[in-house]
Amino acid sequence: MKLAIVTAFPPSKVTLNEYAYYLVKAFRANQEVSELVLLTDVSSEIANTHLDVEGCQVTVKSCWSFNSYSNIVTVVRALKETKPDAVLFNLQFMKFGDKKIPAALGLALPGICKLMGLPTVVLLHNIMEQVDLNEAGFTANKFLQRAYNFIGTQLTKMILKADFVALTISKYVSILQEKYTASNVGLIPHGTLELPAEPSYELPAGPLRVMTFGKFGTYKKVEMLIEAVEHLRKVVDLDIEIVVAGTDNPNVKGYLDGVQKRYAHVKQLVFTGYVAEEDVPKLFEESSVVVFPYTSTTGSSGVLHQAGSYGKAVVMPDLGDLGILSREEGYEARFFEPNNVKDLAKALSEVLVDQNYRTRMGQANYKAATALPMDAIAQKYIEVFKQIISRKEQKASNDLIIVR
């Protein structure tokens, strides 16, 4: 199979580029993929520096850019030039832009690909029905929220024009089946990005590192974590370092700079900035616990899967998709009450003080992570494409018989 993937790719700053890195790696290792066509937003020269040597042939086409009105033309042109057997879209609703028209035009592409006769699958990481528009930084205005929800419904209908839409959480599948009477949706889990050898679960010498990782400022609030650790330091004699790894959410530029200034008095508070792919293992390995200081959720969590792959204990709010995902996939977490600083401090205390508890949690999470490696996820997509192709061939054969 010559497979095309439409996605952001490292070092792009567009969302889901890291997920694409591991998905591409898994597809290249799959014996049923003869060539991969990467339709991306970075130049072929840059993308090639982030591709491993091993695996099938890769053709890189830089054919779209964030907020471009011409993406719908350039992506179709690239597909006609490369002639893949099938195409996979790695999507969320603002993949092609945070402006309404470019975003909508990009999301029309799956339906266009199907009309072109290409077997088309969409991996949809979130759905508008589960996004808190206020917490996610879109708008607090109730009228505008209704408008966004209406637009989201129309965009979802466009995405559902694909042959198959894969969702990463079972609840999403049920919502689309019920609201849109969709029969072409199904569950394909997020999968674990990287599977290192099982860790020793021993922590490096030095302070206990409480780490959070992501794009901050909307529903991911660093203040909650900092204040919880400050509260904990007053009641427990522990050497704790707070590590904030990552960058601002594009909707809240300057957020982390503001937090850094506001909490300049807090000791052992580290802001790493952007974390390069090669630095991610060290970041997790040196952490004592991974914390999710979220006030809302917008889909599956790549950070949870990463924490599991490195055998880390996790502390998170029992909130929406995050709680559902952790239970469905077998992760073990110490939950805290959302937006409750003292309850977060209590959760951190239990995990940091009790080494046996922390180790048991890390072992359970590593086990959950190993159950869903990316090569198994890639194979699930291959099987879906084979079914679509088989149905198309059968229909073509039946049509030929009718004509005769």
The 10s digit of each residue's pLDDT in 235-253 is 998 999 999 999 988 778 8
pLDDT of residue 92: 87
**Minimal CA–CA distance to 212: which of 316, 137, 309, 296?**
316
pLDDT tens for each residue of 284-298:
999 999 999 988 766
Handedness of CA 382, 383, 385, 386 (dihedral sign): positive
pTM of the model: 0.77
Residue 276's contacts (CB-CB under 8 Å, 6 or more residues apart) are none
Model pLDDT, residue 138: 54
pLDDT at 141: 63
CA distance 14 to 397: 42
pLDDT class of 63 with cuts at 50, 70, 90 = very high
Higher pLDDT, 145 or 340: 340
pLDDT of amino acid 51: 87
Residues 308-346 pLDDT 10s: 999 999 999 987 777 777 888 889 999 999 899 999 999
**Does residue 371 or residue 26 have the better pLDDT?**
26
Q: Which CATH class is domain 2-191+373-403?
A: alpha beta
Q: Lowest-confidence range among 144-158, 201-215, 277-291?
A: 144-158
Predicted local confidence at residue 196, as pLDDT: 79
Q: Token pair for residue 293?
A: 């200081």
> Tens digits of per-residue pLDDT, 158-184?
999 999 999 988 889 999 999 999 999
Token pair in block for residue 388? 């679509």
Residue 259: HSE in the Cβ half-sphere, 13 Å Cα cutoff: 23
Q: What number is the average pLDDT over the span 365-374?
A: 89
Question: Per-domain residue ranges for the chain?
Answer: 2-191+373-403, 208-370
Percent share of the chain, pLDDT over 70: 93
Q: Which CATH class is domain 208-370?
A: alpha beta
- 2-191+373-403 and 208-370 in the same fold: yes
